């Protein structure tokens, strides 16, 4: 298995993983409405992941 830094093209998978982890970790501990609201704002989270990942993979340079 090869592990590399995230790039903007990974944003969709990172967004979904982040949402899934929150659902699994906090279901039953916080309001389901909070978790549903996080999912409803998926597009905003996707944009944030795209903007916080480097444009190119440093290992590929």
SS3 18: helix
pLDDT in tens, 34-54: 999 999 999 999 999 999 988
Mean pLDDT across the stretch 11-31?
Answer: 97
- Name the DSSP class of 27: B
Specify the pTM.
0.80
């Amino acid at each position: 298995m090869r592990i590399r830094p995230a790039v903007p093209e990974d944003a969709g998978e990172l967004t979904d993983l982040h949402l899934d982890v929150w659902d699994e970790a906090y279901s039953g501990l916080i309001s389901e409405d909070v978790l549903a609201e996080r999912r409803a704002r998926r597009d905003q989270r996707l944009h944030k992941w795209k903007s916080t990942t480097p444009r190119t993979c440093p290992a590929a340079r």
